[in-house]
Amino acid sequence: MTDAVLSPGAPAPKTAPLTAREALLKKRHRSEMWFRVQGIAAIVIAMIFLVVLVGRIVVQGYSTFETHTLTVPVYINPERVDVTALEGVNYDYIVAEALMKKLGVQDDDLGTTSAKIMDLTSRDFGFQLLNKLKADKSLIGKTVDVTGSVKADADLYYKGEIKRSTAEVDRKLDNQQLDWLDKLRTDGTVKAGFNTKFFSNSDSTEPEQAGVWGAVVGSAMMLVITALIAIPVGVMAAVYLEEFAPKNRWTDIIEVNINNLAAVPSIVYGLLGLALFINWLHVPRGSPLVGGLVLALMALPTVIIATRSSLKAVPPSIREAALGVGASKAQTVFHHVLPLAMPGVMTGAILSLAHALGETAPLLMIGMVAFVPGAPESFTSSATVLPVQVFIWENASERAFHERTAAAIIVLLVFMIVMNAAAVILRRRFERRW
């Protein structure tokens, strides 16, 4: 190109190879551009996947955090309550009566209207009445205010998930029920609010009563077991291999072994847990104990690898200085090297625990798929954990459970983000560069 500027009047044949070269250069630059665009496209696609994945789950799940509660004054009709058999009373009907009065409708002989009304309120109302009466029998014949959730389908209607425009046969609620729901909302009987029950309740067969508390407690108990086993054993194994072990065939075998263990599919650990812990050692099925043991075996290689790399990062001068002033090998390691490597060790440990928190497949093998209504009482009682709860709810047929599945995923992701953030902060704050 400089040639062209220097000799503007150059003869034609001389420019011909130039243009050919220019054309080649253009082609090369075009392919450069094209390659760059491909790279950007790959990153953009990956980011779109991330946004769609997280976005879809938030969109599906956030509505769970809002719920609709209904407050109704219930007249406890003495004719309907048998004082001697409080358990056997049809409280749902008493609540339905109160609502019918509120809506100004009459029940027919077959009880169709009251049945339709019962479809709108949670069974929780009945249990609340029962508990109130058990505590205080003098309430019979009086009017008490009861507050509880509306049934999941009614809740979905309020949130706009069930639409009036859908043909009546295709939705679970008919036009009359929708009219009642509208009326209850306009007169202030039904109020929208934050769904605290989702966090305080455990699994239930009724979507509006189902929550994640039991699963959160189960996950926490399981992680405690995992941490108590995987972290000490992993750290000590790493200390031995990195600081004490002679370099020979045996330690080579152990090293290769650990690297391979880290890549064994998680489901294989489930099979091991089933054969070893449940079938051979008779650890109770589906308990936080057996789950924690399996996940500890799974987390062990990751903890070892992370610990070894942070021990490697401690410069040899530290060891030499300690040995030089007369410390023994063990004193050098436990007084100086390990404390200096601790931030890296803890980061690795937290990350592997976060990974264990999200693990599902091996837990299915060891019997953690049972329906557990309540938080586990001990390490040996059956429990459910967050990811398994997600799996169970995803399989449920009711539409309201899909919303809850996404909400449970949000809770799970929040826990994972907190753990990962803790690891990052730990690394940023305490990590030393030598």
Q: Of 10 and 281, which has the nearer Cβ to other proteins?
A: 281
From candidates 58, 105, 130, 261, binder to other proteins by CB under 8 A: 261
β-sheet bridge partners, residue 66: 194
> If binding means CB under 8 A, how many residues of this protein chain bind other proteins?
88
73 scored as a contact of other proteins (CB under 8 A)? no
297 scored as a contact of other proteins (CB under 8 A)? yes
Tell me the per-residue interface mask from 370 to 389 with other proteins, x by CB under 8 A, - otherwise: -----------------xx-
Whether residue 218 contacts residue 383, with contact meaning beta carbons closer than 8 Å, is answered with: yes
Count of other CB atoms within 10 angstroms of residue 176: 12
Round to whole Å and give the CA distance between 76 and 133: 10
Whether residue 423 contacts residue 179, with contact meaning beta carbons closer than 8 Å, is answered with: no
β-sheet bridge partners, residue 38: none
Write out the binding residues for other proteins, residues 83-122 only, by CB under 8 A: none
21 scored as a contact of other proteins (CB under 8 A)? no
From candidates 14, 22, 23, 35, binder to other proteins by CB under 8 A: 35
How far, rounded to the nearest angstrom, does the alpha carbon of residue 386 sit from its chain's CA centroid? 5
252 scored as a contact of other proteins (CB under 8 A)? no
Q: Of 375 and 406, which has the nearer Cβ to other proteins?
A: 406
Write out the binding residues for other proteins, residues 319-338 only, by CB under 8 A: 328-330
Write out the binding residues for other proteins, residues 124-163 only, by CB under 8 A: none
Q: Label residue 314 exposed, middle or buried (CB < 10 Å: 0-12, 13-18, 19+).
A: buried
Round to whole Å and give the CA distance between 67 and 99: 19
From candidates 152, 338, 365, 375, binder to other proteins by CB under 8 A: 365
Write out the binding residues for other proteins, residues 303-322 only, by CB under 8 A: 304
| Positive or negative torsion for Cα 415, 421, 424, 429 | negative
Round to whole Å and give the CA distance between 403 and 271: 32
DSSP per-residue codes, 240-267:
IIIII--SSHHHHHHHHHHHHHTTS-HH
23 scored as a contact of other proteins (CB under 8 A)? no
Round to whole Å and give the CA distance between 413 and 62: 13
414 scored as a contact of other proteins (CB under 8 A)? no
Q: Of 245 and 340, which has the nearer Cβ to other proteins?
A: 245
**Part in contact with other proteins (CB under 8 A); list of ranges 2-10, 68-76, 182-190, 269-277:** 269-277
Q: Of 59 and 83, which has the nearer Cβ to other proteins?
A: 59
20 scored as a contact of other proteins (CB under 8 A)? no
For the CA atoms of 276, 279, 282, 284, the dihedral, rounded to the nearest 10 degrees, stands at 100
From candidates 178, 217, 338, 354, binder to other proteins by CB under 8 A: 354
406 scored as a contact of other proteins (CB under 8 A)? yes
Q: Of 146 and 274, which has the nearer Cβ to other proteins?
A: 274
274 scored as a contact of other proteins (CB under 8 A)? yes
**Part in contact with other proteins (CB under 8 A); list of ranges 119-127, 178-186, 213-221, 276-284:** 276-284
**Part in contact with other proteins (CB under 8 A); list of ranges 84-92, 122-130, 210-218, 250-258:** 250-258
* CA dist 212 → 151, 174, 349, 372, 405 (Å): 18, 31, 25, 11, 10
